C-alpha cells in the first residue's frame, strides 16, 4: 500500500484509507468463504437427507405391500372363521334336534 501523490491522499486513497479498504475486502472474502463452507455443508446434509428419504420411501412401499398382503390374509381367514362358525351353529342345531329325537325314541321304547 502506498500513496503516490497528495491528490490521491485527498481523494481517499491515503495509506490508512487503503488499509481500511483492504481490511474490509479481507473481511468480505472471509465472510464469503464462511458462507461457501456453510452452503457446502448444507448441500452435503441435503444429499444425505435426500438419500435417507428415498430409502424410507422404499421401506414404506415394502411395508405397505406387506400390509396389503397381510390384510388379504386376514380377510381370507375371517371368511374361513365365519364359515366354520356357521357350520358349528348348524351342527349345534342338528345335535339339538338329534337329542330331542333320541329322547323321544327312548321314551317310546320305555312305553312299549
User: In sequence order, what DSSP letters do the residues of 61-93 get, joined into one string?
Assistant: HHHHHHHHHHHHHHHHHHHHHHHHHHHHHHHHH
With a CB cutoff of 8 Å and minimum separation 6, the contacts of 102 are none
pTM of the model: 0.53
Exposed / middle / buried, residue 18 (Cβ in 10 Å: 0-12, 13-18, 19+): middle
Indicate if the pLDDT at residue 84 is higher than 80.
yes
Q: What per-residue confidence (pLDDT) applies to 111?
A: 82
Which domain, by its residues, includes 85?
A: 6-111
> Is residue 67 assigned to a domain?
yes
Indicate if the pLDDT at residue 5 is higher than 60.
yes
- Cell 448441500 locates to 43
Give the pLDDT band of residue 4 (cuts 50, 70, 90). low
Between CA 110 and CA 67 the distance in angstroms is 63
> Is residue 1 assigned to a domain?
no
* Domain total of the chain: 1
Between CA 39 and CA 78 the distance in angstroms is 56
Contact assessment for residue 31 and residue 17, using Cβ atoms and an 8 Å cutoff? no
Helix (H, G, I), strand (E, B) or coil at 3: coil
Q: What per-residue confidence (pLDDT) applies to 108?
A: 87
Indicate if the pLDDT at residue 33 is higher than 80.
yes
Indicate if the pLDDT at residue 2 is higher than 80.
no
pLDDT (average), residues 94-107: 94
Amino acid at each position: 500500500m502506498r500513496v503516490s501523490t497528495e491528490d490521491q491522499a485527498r481523494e481517499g486513497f491515503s495509506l490508512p484509507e487503503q488499509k481500511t479498504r483492504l481490511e474490509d475486502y479481507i473481511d468480505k472474502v472471509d465472510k464469503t468463504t464462511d458462507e461457501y463452507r456453510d452452503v457446502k455443508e448444507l448441500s452435503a446434509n441435503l444429499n444425505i437427507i435426500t438419500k435417507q428419504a428415498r430409502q424410507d420411501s422404499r421401506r414404506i412401499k415394502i411395508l405397505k405391500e406387506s400390509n396389503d398382503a397381510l390384510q388379504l390374509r386376514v380377510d381370507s381367514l375371517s371368511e374361513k372363521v365365519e364359515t366354520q362358525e356357521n357350520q358349528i351353529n348348524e351342527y349345534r342345531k342338528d345335535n339339538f334336534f338329534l337329542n330331542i329325537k333320541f329322547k323321544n325314541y327312548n321314551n317310546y321304547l320305555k312305553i312299549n
